[in-house]
Amino acid sequence: MSGHSKWANIKRKKQANDLVRGNVFAKMSHLITLAVLESGGMTQPENNVKLRLAIDKAKSVNMPKENILRAIEKGSGPNQTMLKEILYEGFGTYGIFLLILSTTDNSNRTSSEIRNMLEKHSGKLGTQGSVSYLFNKCAFVSFLKKEVNEEAVFKIGEELHAFDINEDTSHFFVFFPFSNFGLLKTHLNNIKYDLAEIDYLPTMPVVLDSPEKEKKVLDIVEALESLDDIQRVYTNLN
């Protein structure tokens, strides 16, 4: 299996931190509502892959069923919340590039909050296209080693046309083309997964020469992800 071990560890750390950062239920509600809106009002998880994955993620943070149902209704009922997904681009310290994924009902508010947070941490908000060309959009799914064996992981990877499969001490990670994201549930065959998301991998990862510099970059990421409208921040930090 190939590298990305350091990246994978950061991913796991960030996933765990999501439980204590910001308004988690609000973030999960946005994901669910957006999945319904983007499908044209499809409220059945079995017919809406993105909705099914959003609900699974909400359940993983113990979001109550009534909250989930309310979020679905906001995307399909007469009082729809008009959320949209916006990918902002920015610059951190030490030559680090940032892709900032948001779900928002007010892009002016969100861009202002991002700009202020970046400037507070010596960063800068970029224009559309300023750094996104340095990332490849893909998807990934992770599995707990204690629940899924390596053979099953490689079989799923083959079916999804994975371009990379790697691991850390507790997880397997399968990276595959974004175009196959909608096929994920079909190929899982009831195998329990831990996390499945869209991802952006840097084409030119940057290695910083000290833990102190890495911490400053991760501080920017955590500060941005503390904002209610921000779902995830991607960087080119290796």
| pLDDT tens, per residue, the chain with 238 residues | 444 444 544 454 455 455 444 488 899 999 999 999 999 999 999 888 889 889 988 998 889 999 999 999 999 877 788 899 999 999 999 999 999 999 999 999 999 999 999 999 999 999 999 999 999 999 999 999 999 999 999 999 999 999 999 998 899 999 999 999 888 878 887 788 988 888 999 999 999 999 999 999 999 999 999 999 999 999 999 8
pLDDT at position 179 is 92
> What was the pLDDT predicted at 3?
43
Q: Give the span between the Cα atoms of 87 and 125, in whole angstroms.
A: 12
**pLDDT of res. 60:** 86
The Cβ of residue 62 has, within 10 Å, a number of other Cβ atoms equal to 9
* Buried b / exposed e along 219-232 (16+ C-beta atoms within 10 A): ebbbbbbebbbbbb
Task: Give the architecture (CATH level 2) of 134-202.
Answer: 2-Layer Sandwich (3.30)
Nearest CA to 100 out of 118, 88, 84 is that of 88
pLDDT value for 22: 45
The domains spanning 5-76 and 134-202 adopt the same CATH topology: no
Cα–Cα nearest to 188, from 222, 225, 147: 147
Phi, psi of 199 (to 5 degrees): -140, 160
Rounded to two decimals, what is the model's pTM? Answer: 0.83
Three-state secondary-structure class, residue 165: strand
Q: Which CATH architecture describes the domain 84-133+206-235?
A: 2-Layer Sandwich (3.30)
- In b/e form, how buried is each residue of 132-146, taking b as 16+ CB within 10 angstroms? beebebbbbbbbeee
- pLDDT score recorded for residue 89: 98
Residues 75, 83: Cα–Cα separation, whole Å: 9
Between CA 195 and CA 190 the distance in angstroms is 14
Under DSSP, the state recorded for 44 is: -
Q: d(Cα 154, Cα 163) in Å, to the nearest integer?
A: 11
Q: If you count them, how many residues does the chain have?
A: 238
In the 8-state DSSP scheme, what is residue 195? Answer: E
Domain borders along the chain are 5-76, 84-133+206-235, 134-202
- Residue range 5-76 forms a domain whose CATH class is mainly alpha
Contact 192, 166 (CB under 8 A): no
